Chain A
Amino acid sequence: MSAASAEHHDHDDHHGPAPGLTRWLYTTNHKDIGTLYLLFSLLMFFIGGGMALIIRAELFQPGLQLVDPLFFNSMTTMHALVMIFGVVMPAFVGLANWMIPMMIGAPDMALPRLNNWSFWIMPFAFTLLLSTLFMEGGGPAGGWTLYAPLSLQGGDSFAFVIFSIHFMGISSVMGSINIVATIFNMRAPGMTLMKMPLFVWTWLITAFLLIAVMPVLAGAVTMLLTDRFFDTSFFSAAGGGDPVMYQHIFWFFGHPEVYILILPAFGIVSSIIPTFARKPLFGYASMVYATASIAFLSFIVWAHHMFTVGMPLAGEMFFMFATMMISVPTGVKVFNWIATMWRGSMTFETPMLFAVGFLVMFTIGGLSGLMLAITPADIQYHDTYFVVAHFHYVLVPGAIYSIMAATYYWLPKWTGNMYDEKWGKIHFWVSTIFLNVLFFPMHFVGLAGMPRRIPDYSMQFADWNAVATIGAFGFGFSQLIFVYVVFKCMKGGEKATDEVWEGADGLEWTVPSPAPYHTFETPPPIR
C-alpha cells in the first residue's frame, strides 16, 4: 500500500493497547473509544428496541392486555430517549471517532483525554436514566419532549431524568468540541477543507449543531426543574409565563436535533455509494453547500412541531414556508446520489444494499415530512400515527440503516476480517421487508385518525396495528442476525485486503486492515 502506511508499520508495538480492563477505562485511543461507543450503542439499541416491542405488544389488539397506561407512557418516553440519545447519537460519535482521524490523516483526536470522558459519561448517564424505571411511580411518562406542565407532574423520576439529560448533554458537547477541534486542527497538510470526505464535512456541521443546541435543551430542562422545585413560573400562565414557551425552547433544540440524527447518515451514504458505483461522488461541492443550508434552515423551522398550539397566523406561515424549503437542499442530495449511481458500474454488497435502502426509504419519510410541513394538512396529521410513520421512516431506515451500512462498510477495516456476505444480505432483506410491514401501515391508521401515545384504540384500527406488531417483532428479531454477523466477523473470517472494496477511495483504505492501533503518526501525503 502507500508509503505512509508501510512506514509506520514498525511503530506498531511501540505503544499498543494496555492490557486488561484498564485499556478500556483509561484509553485515549480514538479507535478504542470508537469501539466503546459503538458497542454501547448496540446494547442500547436492544434496550430501546425491547421497549418498542412492549409498546407494540400492547398495541397488538384493542383493549388493555399487558401494561398499565402509565407504564405504557413511560415506555414511549424512554424508548425515544434511549433510541435518540443512547443509540443514534453515540453510534455516530463512535463512527466519527473511528473514521475522522483516519479520513483526514490525523494520528488521533485533538483532545484524547476529553474524548475518553465524553464516552465514559454515557454509561453513567444512562444508568441514571434507566434507574428511574425501577422507582416508585415509574419512569418519566410525559413523552420524550417532556412538555410542561405534564412533565412537572412526574413522580420521583423527574429530577433524575432532568439530570440525566444534563449529563448526556455534557457528553455530547464535549464530544462535539473534540470533533470540531480535530477537523479544524488535525488535518494532514494538503487536506484542504474542500478535499475532506463528506462524512467529515457532515460531522463538522453536525458538531456545530450539537454545540449550538444541546445547551439550549439544558436550559429548557433546567427551567422545568426550577418550575417544579424552586417556585419559578416560566411555564405557568398565573405567573406570566407560558407552557408553550417550553415548546418553543424545546423545539429550538429539537428540530436541529433531528438533523443531528441524519446529517452524519448523509455523510456515510456519500462515502458508500461512490465506492460501489465505482464512480466519484457527483456534485461534491453542492453536497457541502446543501448540508450547510440544511443546518442553517434547521434553526428557523422549529415551530412546525407546534402548528396546533395557537400561534399567530404570520408565525404559522413563516414556519410552513421555511420548513418546505428544507426539501430543496435535501433534494439536491438525493439527486446527487442518484447521479453518482448513474452510469456507474454498480455492485450490491451489503453496505450498498443498506445505502440504497436508506435512499429509498429516507425519501419516503422525507416526502411525508413535506406533507407534514403543509400547515392546514398538518393540523389533521399532528399527533397521529402519520407523524409516527414519518419519523420512523427517517430514523430507522434513515439513521439506523446508515449506521448498519457504515458498520458493514468499515467492519473489515476495523477487524481485518471480511464479514459474512451471505448473512449480511439476508439481514438486509429480512429487515427491509419487516420494516415496511412495521411502519407503512402507520400511515394508514394515522390518516384514519389514530392518535399517537395511546395504549388502546378503537376497533377500526385493529387490523393494521396487528400487522405493524408482527412487523415489529420480525424486524426486532432480525437484528439478532446483525449481532451474529458482527461478532462472527470480530472473531475471524476471510482476511480483508487493505483496500477492502474495489472502488473505495480515501485515506482510511491506505492503512492496513485491521487498522493498526496508531495510524498516521506522520502525516500522509495528500494528492
Chain B
Amino acid sequence: MSIVSRWLLAASALLLGGQSALADINMPVGVTPISKEVYGLHMMIFWICCVIGAVVFGVMFYSMFKHRKSKGAKPADFHESTTVEIIWTAVPLVILIAMAIPAAKTLIAMEDTSDAEVTVKVTGYQWKWHYEYLDSGISFFSSLHPDHNAARQKGSGVDVSQFDNYLKEVDNELVLPVGKKVRFLHTSSDVIHSWWVPALAVKKDAIPGFINENWALIEEPGVYRGNCTELCGRDHGFMPVVVRALPEAEYDAWVAENAPAPAITESTGAAATTAVAAVEEDADREWGLDELVAKGEGIYNTNCASCHQANGQGLPGAFPAITGSPVATGPIDAHINTVYVGVSGTTMASFANQLSDVDMAAVLTYQRNALGNSVGDTVQPSAIKALR
C-alpha cells in the first residue's frame, strides 16, 4: 500500500473509530485477558492525553491568535495568582489518580502467576530461544527460520518482501494450549534478552542467573509473533518468538507425540511446524566426511555464522575467522574443546547443551573441511558422546 493511501486510511480509521485499519499503527488488542485489559488501559490514557493536549493547545493557540501585537493587543501585566496555581496543580493530580487506579489493578493481575497448568522455561541464548516444558519434558531450540536467515544477510540479494512474515518466522515454534494458564520462567544463558509477544502482552527480561515469572492465558487459537526486545548483541534483531496456540485437544496430541523428547534435538531443520520430531540419529555409527560436512553447513549457518560469518571470515576484532584459524586447522581436541566448553570470558559460549552429538561433530568437521579449510579429518559423533 502506498504511503499516501495509508495516511488517508489511518486518518479515516481514526475518524470512524475503526480498529482493523489501525492494526499497523496501534497496539494489538491481543488474545489474553491481560492483553485486553492493557489495551483498554492504553486507549484510556491515550484519549486522556489527547484531551489534555486539545485543551492545552487550544488555549495556547487561541492566545497566540488573539493576543498578538499585530492585532493591536496591549499587554496586561498580571503575573501571579495563587488560585489558578492551586487549580492547575489539583486538577492534574485528580486526573492522575483516575489513571492510577485501573493501572494498579491491571498490574496486580499481571503479577499473579499462581495456579498455572503448564510451565515453560524460556532461556535466551545469543541469538535463539530454548524452550523447556517442565511438565512434559519436551525441550528444543527455536531460531530464526533458515530462509529468512539467508535473506537477511547483508548483500544477500534476496527481495525480502517476498516473505509473509519477514524476520518473524522460526524453525521450531513454541506450541501452547488455548484456555489454560501458562506460566513462563524466563532466564538467559549469556546476556539479558527479553521475551515479547505483543498479542499476549507478555514481555519479561531474561536475566542470566535469575528467573523471572510471567503468565498468559490464550483465548483464541492462532499464531502469535514477537521478538527479543532487549539489546543482546549483534543479532538482537534476529531472534523472533513465534507462538502457536492450539485448542486443548490438539495441544495434548502434540505433547503426546513429542514427549518424552530427547534433551537435545536438532536445532536446524526446516522440519514440520512442530518440529521436535525426535529423529533418531545414530550417534555411534561411523560417519563419512562428506556426510558430516553436508550436515554441518546448516548447523554452522544457524549457530555460528552470526559471529564467525557465513564465509568463515569473522569480524576482525570481535569474532575470529574460522578460515585459517589455528584452532580450526590445528589439533582436533583443542578444536572440540573450544566448541564443547566454550571460551570463558568471551561470547564464544559452550555448545555442549545446544548441539546434539551428531550436530556438533558435523559442525566441527565442517569447520575443518570447508570455509577454505581442508584438514581432511573428521570429528565422529561418538567422540562427542564420549565427552558427555
Contacts and interface: CB of A to CB of B under 8 A. Distances in A.
A138 B314 CA distance: 13
B38 A280 contact: no
B237 A327 contact: no
A467 B3 contact: yes
Contacts of B107: 313, 316-317, 320, 375-376
Interface in A244-284: 244, 277-284
A359 interface: yes
Contacts of A382: 203, 229
Interface in B49-91: 49, 52-53, 56-57, 59-60, 63-64, 67-70, 73-81, 84-85, 88-89
Contact of A347 (B10, B69, B168): B69
Nearest to B168: A458
Interface stretch (A68-76, A113-121, A174-182): A68-76
A460 B154 CA distance: 20
Contact of B96 (A135, A308, A317, A325): A325
A376 B6 contact: no
B192 interface: yes
B88 A367 contact: no
Given A341-B60, A359-B60, A282 B166 contact: no
A308 B79 contact: no
Contacts of B272: none
A279 B77 contact: yes
A284 B237 contact: no
Nearest to B210: A237
Contacts of B45: 370-371, 374, 377
A147 B233 CA distance: 11
A483 interface: no
Nearest to A77: B231
B167 A456 contact: yes
A308 B205 contact: yes
A68 B207 contact: no
B57 A360 contact: yes
A149 B192 contact: yes
Interface in A464-506: 464, 466-467, 503
Interface stretch (A28-36, A57-65, A165-173): A57-65
Nearest to A282: B79
Interface in A419-444: 443-444
A304 B121 CA distance: 26
Contacts of A280: 77, 79
Name the residue among A281, A285, A375, A377 with the largest chain B CB count within 10 angstroms: A377
Interface residues of A, number: 106
A379 B316 CA distance: 37
Contacts of A447: 25-27
A376 B67 contact: no
A377 B38 contact: yes
A280 to B, nearest CB: 4
A399 to B, nearest CB: 20
A193 interface: no
A444 B25 contact: yes
A376 B204 contact: no
Interface in A304-321: 308-310, 313, 316-317, 320-321
A62 B6 CA distance: 18
B161 A62 contact: yes
B75 A155 contact: no
27 contacts: A62-B161, A63-B159, A67-B154, A68-B154, A68-B234, A137-B315, A153-B233, A155-B318, A156-B317, A283-B79, A286-B85, A308-B204, A317-B107, A320-B100, A324-B100, A335-B88, A341-B63, A342-B76, A343-B67, A343-B73, A343-B78, A344-B76, A345-B73, A348-B64, A382-B229, A451-B196, A451-B227
Given A236-B208, A331-B89, A341-B64, 15 more contacts: A63-B158, A66-B154, A68-B315, A69-B238, A147-B191, A244-B210, A283-B80, A285-B80, A309-B205, A316-B111, A370-B45, A376-B110, A379-B201, A444-B25, A462-B161
Interface of B: 1, 3, 6, 10, 23-28, 34, 37-38, 41-42, 45-46, 49, 52-53, 56-57, 59-60, 63-64, 67-70, 73-81, 84-85, 88-89, 92-93, 96, 99-100, 103-104, 106-108, 110-111, 151-156, 158-161, 163, 165-168, 186, 190-192, 194, 196, 198, 201, 203-205, 207-210, 212-213, 226-238, 315-318, 346-347
